[in-house]
Amino acid sequence: MTEAQEYKWAIVAEGLHRQYGTLQVLKGVTLSIEKGKMVAIVGKSGSGKSTLLHILGTLDSPDSGSVSICGMPVTGLKSKALASLRSKHLGFVFQFHHLLPEFTALENIAMPALITGMKKKEAFKRAGDLLGYLQLSARSDHKPNQLSGGEQQRVAIGRALMNEPDIILADEPSGNLDTETSIQVHQLLRSITTDMGKSLVIVTHNADLAALSDHIYEMKDGLLIS
């Protein structure tokens, strides 16, 4: 077992500050997320939730403060090292699915592994297994425009899981879905923690999704309130 696997915390963030021009978005955010837990971050639009999620996912950098992923400090890493860390440890789900329209559901899910050099046969086998877990095997050969919104989001979740990351970061994952489909996606996200032991950090306005989490934080005035 590696040192990263033995480490108790999926994410540790300390004293995060982020400012855009004169607007101070994060004012010293500190947060620890235990491995295998589902955490929701709620708050009003413009409160800094997405900024915090992007920093935790190494898509943005804080002006000051530090972030560690599975025990590994990421602050100050060069872009190539950050890309490698994201590929190994992080999966992302966004409000908009960002699926590649010219590829099938199977190919979209397999894409992260193909990019990292996994052989096509192996990648497609794992993508097929994920489609089964997502109850989408019958839609394997369908392109995004042939899928419902909920099916597209499940494909996006499968893509996030493809490289077997430790952590899934989701930004308003049910924001564009109807109520019934949202419930299905919420249950799926909860099961990913239960079945696979993944850590989930979810930014959401949806109170029902937040209620499924092990812990809820509210973003207010640039700080997190537990």
Q: Calculate ∠ Cα 88-51-149, nearest 5°.
A: 70
Q: Residue 164's Cα: distance from chain center in Å?
A: 12
Looking at residue 53, what DSSP letter applies?
H
**Quick check: 6 pLDDT over 70?**
no
Q: What is the pLDDT of residue 2?
A: 44
The pLDDT value given to residue 210: 87
Q: What is the pLDDT of residues 88-137, one digit of tens each?
A: 899 998 877 789 999 999 999 999 999 989 999 999 999 999 999 999 99
Measured CA to CA, the distance from residue 191 to residue 176 in angstroms comes to 21
Residue 75: domain span: 3-225
Burial label for 138, CB within 10 Å (0-12, 13-18, 19+), is exposed
pLDDT at 68: 92
For residue 50, how many C-alpha atoms fall within 13 Å in the half-sphere facing its CB? 10
Distance CA(51)–CA(56), nearest Å, equals 9
Instruction: Let me know if 14 is exposed, middle or buried by CB neighbors in 10 A (0-12, 13-18, 19+).
Output: middle
% of the chain with per-residue pLDDT over 90: 56
Domains in the chain, number: 1
The share of the chain scoring above pLDDT 70, in percent, equals 97
**Cβ atoms of 206 and 199 closer than 8 Å:** no
How far apart (Å, rounded) are the C-alpha atoms in residues 199 and 8? 11
Tokens of 158: 């499968």
Tell me the two tokens of residue 94: 């966004």
The domain spanning residue 9 has which CATH number? 3.40.50.300
Tell me the C-alpha distance between 29 and 17, whole Å. 7
What pLDDT score does 90 carry?
92
Q: Would you say residue 1 has pLDDT above 70? A: no
Residues in the chain: 226
What are residue 218's DSSP bridge partners? 42, 225
| Tens digit of each residue's pLDDT (9 = 90 or more) over 21-51 | 898 999 999 999 999 999 999 988 878 888 9
Q: Measured at the alpha carbon of residue 113, what is the angle toward residues 181 and 93, in degrees to the nearest 5?
A: 30
Confidence category of residue 4, pLDDT binned at 50, 70, 90: very low
Helix 120-133 to helix 149-161 angle (10° resolution) is 130
Please state the pTM of the whole predicted model. 0.88
**159-217 per-position pLDDT tens digit:** 999 999 999 999 888 877 788 888 888 888 889 988 898 999 999 888 888 888 999 99
Reading phi first (left if > 0) and then psi (alpha if -120 to 50, else beta), residue 97 is in alpha
Alpha carbons 59 and 201: distance in angstroms, whole number: 14
Confidence (pLDDT) at 7: 66
Pick the most confident of 4-8, 59-63, 76-80.
Answer: 59-63
Per-residue DSSP letter, 139: G
